[in-house]
Amino acid sequence: MRGSFRSYLLFLLLPLLLVLHETVIHNRRHHTNNNAAADDDDLALALSTSSRWIVDDRKGGERVKLSCVNWVSHLDAAVAEGLSKQPVDVISKKIVEMGFNCVRFTYPLFLFTDDKLGSMTMRQSMMKLGLSGSIAGVQVNNPLLVDLPLVNVFQEVVSNLNENNVMIILDNHLSKPGWCCSDNDGNGFFGDLYFDPKVWIEGISRVASMFKGYNNVIGMSLRNELRGRRQNLKTWYKYMQIGAERVHAMNPNVLIIISGLNYDLDLSFLQTNPVSLSFSKKLVFEIHWYGFSDGDDWITGNANEVCGRVIDKIANNALFLLDQGYPLFVSEWGVDQSGTNDNDNRYLNCLLGWAAENDLDWTLWTLVGSYYYREGVIGMEETYGLLNWNWRELRNSSFLEKISPLQSPFQAPDSNALAHKIIFHPSTGLCMQSHSSSLGPCSNALELDYTQEKILIVKGTNYCIEASEMHTPVRVGVMCGDDSSTRWEAISASKMHLSSTDKNGNIVCLDIDSKNNIVTNDCKCLSKDYSCDPSSQWFKVINSTSFNIAPSPISISQRPILDGSISSS
Ligand X SMILES: *[C@@H]1O[C@H](CO)[C@@H](O)[C@H](O)[C@H]1NC(C)=O
Site for ligand X contains 53 (CB under 6 A): no
Do the strands 430-432 and 489-491 form a parallel or antiparallel pair, or are they unpaired? unpaired
Pick between residue 55 and residue 145 the one whose CB is nearest to ligand X. Answer: 55
Q: Which of residues 341-400 bind ligand X (CB under 6 A)?
A: 345, 357-358, 396, 398-399
How far apart are CB 82 and ligand X at their closest, in Å? Answer: 20
Of the pair 218, 348, the CB lying nearest ligand X is at 348
Cis link prior to 451 (omega < 30° from 0)?
Answer: no
Give whichever of 397 and 443 is closer to ligand X, judged by the CB atom: 397
Nearer to ligand X, 53 or 71 (CB): 53
Q: What angle separates helix 150-163 from helix 2-32, to the nearest 10 degrees?
A: 40
Minimum separation from the CB atom of position 340 to ligand X (A): 7
Is residue 533 near ligand X by the rule CB under 6 A? no
Distance CA 500, CA 509 (A): 6
Asked if 159 contacts 148 with a C-beta cutoff of 8 angstroms, the reply is: no
CB of 395 vs ligand X, minimal distance in Å: 7
Q: Please answer whether residues 256 and 282 qualify as being in contact, where contact means their C-beta atoms are separated by less than 8 angstroms.
A: yes
In angstroms, rounded to a whole number, what is the distance separating the alpha carbons of residues 498 and 297?
24
- The partner residues of 509 in beta bridges, in order of sequence, read 499, 521
Q: At what angle do helices 342-358 and 303-314 cross, to 10 degrees?
A: 50
3-state secondary structure (DSSP) of residue 100: coil
Between 208 and 284, CB nearer to ligand X = 284
Smallest separation, CB 396 to ligand X (Å): 4
Q: Which is nearer to ligand X, 159 or 535 (CB)?
A: 535
State the residue number with the nearest CB to ligand X.
339
Per-residue binding string, ligand X, 395-424, x by CB under 6 A, is -x-xx-------------------------
Closest to ligand X by CB, 57 vs 414, is: 414
The one among 32, 182, 338, 451 contacting ligand X by CB under 6 A: 338
Contacting ligand X within 463-492 (CB under 6 A): none
Is 543 near ligand X (CB under 6 A)? Answer: yes
The number of beta carbons lying within 10 Å of the beta carbon of residue 397 is 12
Strands 255-259 and 217-221: parallel
Give CA separation, 472 vs 319, 476, 507, in Å. Answer: 37, 13, 14
**The one among 133, 143, 191, 339 contacting ligand X by CB under 6 A:** 339
In this complex, which beta carbon is closest to ligand X, that of residue 208 or of residue 498? 498
The least distance separating ligand X from the CB of residue 358, rounded to whole angstroms, comes to 5
- How many helices (H) and strands (E) in the chain? 14, 25
Strand positions, DSSP E, 192-344: 217-221, 255-259, 283-288, 328-333
List residues near ligand X by CB under 6 A. 338-339, 345, 357-358, 396, 398-399, 543
